[in-house]
């Protein structure tokens, strides 16, 4: 595959169940060292501040030879007043991203814009989809205009953003991601696992969204685990705790098909390996082994 010459591979703090900048079960230096030892060349920021900020962040990355692939920034796009307040949070994240040196503009950090959790959808994530709590059709133009405003704000700082549809948020399904792409010029973050659990087809999306994919979160998903949790009335965090996002190659996502589609359509950029772990009850030995195995799986798939 030509992808090997056009992509770099990153890991992520979410793989260790790190969702807050403090109190993490693994410190940033240890996480970066583990990634470097395995052969990863990049890392997602995780919660802003976890890896540090400013010169401290730059020194930490340089010490391990790891580059910053980008990071999650959720903004209240559905709430005009909340969105205005959240722009300061976006600016702080952009300060972090611009402090991280990039040796090639194709691999500069991608601000990964997203929605915060919608409580009703967090309680019933993925298929079968309950659209009673979905964004009303009349709200989409203003919602998309705020997404566009945030994207332009990123570009004013020299960074190209992506939008991450996500289980339990206002942009969860493939159709909702399509609608956002129609109304804005932002690129999409192709998250294969979240798309699969929301009833989408990651292989078809990799080809259909060609030219609009600015970041890839390579993630497997266990459809049976998700179905069991949903049938029992569990929410998104229960899906994660039940292993809804499993090690690469062990789930139901046709990851080889996704990679072939990305290769055929000329995707260039980061492949961020993600395997969302629970915030509590983690098995760090298993997590560490999975992250090593995930990279080995991808290297074999790209041969």
Alpha-helical (H) ranges within the chain are: 3-6, 28-38, 54-64, 80-98, 119-123, 140-156, 174-183, 192-197, 202-208, 223-231, 236-241, 255-264, 284-301
The domain segmentation of the chain, as residue ranges, is 3-302
pLDDT for res 281: 86
Six-digit token string for 268: 């260039």
Task: Say which residue, 129 or 117, is predicted with more confidence.
Answer: 117
Query: How many whole angstroms separate alpha carbon 64 and alpha carbon 74?
Result: 28
Query: Taking a C-beta distance cutoff of 8 angstroms, is the pair 214, 162 a contact?
Result: yes
Six-digit token string for 189: 């973050």
pLDDT for res 4: 86
Nearest to 48 by CA among 93, 105, 13: 93
Tell me the CA distances in angstroms from 73 to 46, 95, 96, 164, one per residue in order.
10, 12, 12, 10
Does position 247 have pLDDT exceeding 90, yes or no? yes
CB burial string 90-105: b at 16+ within 10 A, e below: beebbebbebbeeeee
Does position 282 have pLDDT exceeding 90, yes or no? no
Does position 25 have pLDDT exceeding 80, yes or no? yes
Query: How many whole angstroms separate alpha carbon 18 and alpha carbon 243?
Result: 16
Does position 82 have pLDDT exceeding 80, yes or no? yes
Does position 101 have pLDDT exceeding 90, yes or no? no
Does position 76 have pLDDT exceeding 80, yes or no? yes
Six-digit token string for 285: 């030995």
> To 5 degrees, how large is the angle CA 67–CA 296–CA 227?
95
Region of poorest pLDDT, from 12-16, 219-223, 278-282:
278-282
Does position 303 have pLDDT exceeding 90, yes or no? no
pTM for the structure as a whole: 0.97
Query: Taking a C-beta distance cutoff of 8 angstroms, is the pair 101, 151 a contact?
Result: no
Does position 261 have pLDDT exceeding 90, yes or no? yes
Does position 1 have pLDDT exceeding 80, yes or no? no
Does position 19 have pLDDT exceeding 90, yes or no? yes
Query: How many whole angstroms separate alpha carbon 152 and alpha carbon 20?
Result: 27
Does position 256 have pLDDT exceeding 90, yes or no? yes
pLDDT for res 2: 82
pLDDT in tens, 203-236: 999 999 999 999 999 999 999 999 999 999 999 9
Q: How far apart are the first and last CA of the chain?
A: 7
Mean of pLDDT over the chain = 97
Rg (alpha carbons) of the chain, rounded to whole number: 18
CATH of domain 3-302: 3.20.20.150
Nearest to 171 by CA among 77, 257, 267, 49: 77
């Amino acid at each position: 595959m030509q992808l090997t010459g056009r992509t770099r591979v990153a890991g992520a703090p979410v793989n260790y169940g790190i969702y807050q900048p403090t109190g993490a079960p693994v410190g940033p230096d240890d996480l970066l060292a583990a990634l470097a030892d395995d052969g990863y060349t990049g890392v997602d920021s995780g919660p802003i501040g976890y890896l540090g900020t400013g010169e401290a962040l730059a020194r930490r990355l340089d010490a391990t030879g790891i580059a910053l692939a980008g990071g999650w920034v959720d903004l209240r796009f559905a709430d005009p007043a909340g969105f205005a307040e959240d722009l300061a949070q976006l600016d702080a994240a952009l300060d972090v991203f611009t402090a991280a040196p990039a040796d090639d503009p194709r691999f500069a950090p991608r601000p990964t814009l997203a929605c915060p959790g919608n409580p009703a959808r967090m309680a019933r994530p993925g298929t079968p989809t309950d659209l009673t709590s979905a964004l009303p059709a009349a709200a989409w133009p203003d919602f998309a205009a705020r997404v566009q405003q945030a994207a332009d704000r990123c570009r004013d700082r020299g960074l190209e953003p992506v939008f991450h549809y996500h289980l339990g948020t206002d942009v969860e399904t493939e159709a909702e991601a399509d609608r956002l792409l129609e109304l804005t010029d932002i690129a999409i973050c192709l998250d294969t696992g979240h798309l699969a659990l929301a009833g989408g087809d990651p292989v078809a999306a990799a080809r259909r969204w060609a030219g609009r994919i600015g970041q890839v979160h390579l993630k497997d998903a266990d459809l049976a685990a998700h179905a069991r949790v949903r049938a029992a009335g569990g929410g998104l965090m229960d899906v994660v705790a039940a292993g809804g996002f499993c090690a690469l190659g062990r789930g139901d996502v046709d990851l080889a098909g996704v990679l072939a589609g990305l290769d055929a359509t000329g995707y260039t950029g980061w492949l961020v390996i993600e395997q969302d772990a629970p915030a509590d009850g983690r098995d760090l030995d298993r997590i560490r082994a999975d992250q090593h195995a995930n990279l080995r799986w991808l290297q074999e798939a790209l041969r």
